[in-house]
Structure 1
Amino acid sequence: MCVNYTPTRRDQLAPKFAAIDQTGEDWRPEIWQDYNAPFITHDHLKRRRAQLGSYGMVPKTKIPAGVKRFSTMNARAETISELRSFAQAWRDGQRCLIPLQNFFEPNYETGKAERWQIGVRNNSDFAVAGLYQGWQDNDGQQSFSFTQITINADQHALMRRFQKPEDEKRSLVILHEQDYDAWLTCTTPDLARSFLKLFPAEDMWAQAAVLSKPQTKSNAAQLVALPIQKSLFDE
């Protein structure tokens, strides 16, 4: 699973993703649940466009009063067609690209959780498969939210090295550039499932990162970079 990532920079939306920037405002350098970040869809002319949405398919502001807050940052591929939070968007083809620089996972190989940063080799920005939905706000405006799709990674040479030893290993669905438009225009759920594959481990990198919690005034001074270790594939 992924609960925290570094989004693409605004200056990469056009050159890297060929997307028209319709975000309207800036976003934070690291994204956590309910933070706004860019996601990419097709417009009515099949052009890629970047809009701003809340990370998590059901934002906390949309959870009914009295209902305990729940996480929808990640949609498991195995249950995406069944769970109410995702099923309608999955059936309706509301697929999107979520542009990243890298994402974060805990590594327990030293016996304790250490925050690690993961990305794609020779490719500073990349996109993962996601779903989005629109919301009608009280002021009459429309807002958006999105989720990242994850798949089992128990046998993946890199991603199996993250999360607690006893936990199932999961990975985001990193898409190849040549598949971006095909993913966005999938007409059926069955066709969409053909894109839900693990990205080659040899084309990824991972290294130690920084403190694994959102930056606030109270902990900003603690965000000191750890010594950079070799990539797990440079050892």
Structure 2
Amino acid sequence: MCVNYHSPTREQFGTLGAFSELPADWRWPEEVWKDYTAPIVRRGQDGSPMACLASYGMVPRRHIPPGVKPFDTMNARAESLGERRSFAPAWRRLQLCAVPMSWFYEPCYESGRAVRHAIGMLDDSLFYVAGLWREWSESDGSLASSFTQITINADDHPLMSRMHKPDDEKRSLVVVRPEELDDWLACRDVETARSFLRHYPAARMKDWAAPQTVVKKAPAPSPNLSLF
């Protein structure tokens, strides 16, 4: 399962329509981890793609009730989207989003030990990963957004089947084809939405060893992440 990824820079976002103009006060880290704030795109009230900031993980740690063991919601399995309490309401409401990335990270054990690999597009282009979003009421009365990424089984994918421990189920993020982005965000039928949850061609992807160099830090409190 993907638990961190490399987000595009402000300059790179100029090539993506929904992000062509970004508020000057928007900030996000290059490497995104659980509860970090990062850009996503979703459907606005007028039906057009809308950029916003959201925290990574459908249920932010600050919203896990006291006494409940912390749990992760950074990835949502496509097979159980309609069943998991953390994801089912957003899935049924078709609160679909797309997460822009330069690449994402997975462990590869082909050397006999875990080596972090980066996975991106063969031509180094930016891409979007399918996800879900929701809103939270914060203690100060504001609304904040959060998101999760959707994953599918990757046992038969030539590239993604090489990742993770040998005996673990192989999983992959759902990369949205560029020509299907608008249709994914605007989808109004659950079964049609499921038709988008398929693999991206391995021949158009690449991977490379990418040892961790960025120190993971606790994210700063961010009470209001939904800026539009």
- What's the TM-score once normalised by structure 2's chain length? 0.90
Match status 1:79 vs 2:80: yes
Report the residue type matching 2:174 in the other structure: V
Distance 1:163 1:145 in 2: 26
Identify the residue that residue 35 of structure 1 maps to in structure 2: 36
After TM superposition, give the deviation of residue 51 of structure 1 in Å: 0.7
Distance 2:12 2:212 in 1: 26
CA root-mean-square deviation: 1.7
Residues 44 and 82 (structure 1), Cα distance of their counterparts in 2 relative to 1, 3 Å cut: same
Structure 1: gaps of 5 or more residues: 217-235
In the other structure, the counterpart of 1:179 is 180
- CA separation in 1, counterparts of 2:68 and 2:214? 25
Q: How many residues align?
A: 217
Alignment of structure 1 residues 99-138 onto 2, 5 Å: 99-138=100-139
The CA deviation string for residues 21-79 of structure 1, in whole angstroms up to 9 with x for no partner, is: 36942001101111110110122223322111110000000000100000000000000
User: 1:98 is aligned with what amino acid?
Assistant: V
Question: 2:78–2:150: 8 Å Cα contact kept in structure 1?
Answer: yes
| Alignment partners' CA distance in 2, 1:23 and 1:68 | 37
C-alpha contact 1:22 1:51 (8 A) present in aligned 2: no
Structure 2 residues without counterparts, runs of 5 or longer:
218-228
Residue 51 of structure 2 is aligned to residue 50 of structure 1: yes
Matches of 2:213 and 2:63, distance apart in 1: 26
Map of 1:152 onto structure 2: 153
Aligned letter for 2:101? L
Q: How far off is 1:181 after superposition?
A: 0.7
Identical amino acids, percent of aligned pairs? 48
State whether residues 18 and 51 of structure 2, in contact with CA within 8 Å, keep that contact through their aligned partners in structure 1: no
How many Å separate the matches in 2 of 1:202 and 1:116?
17
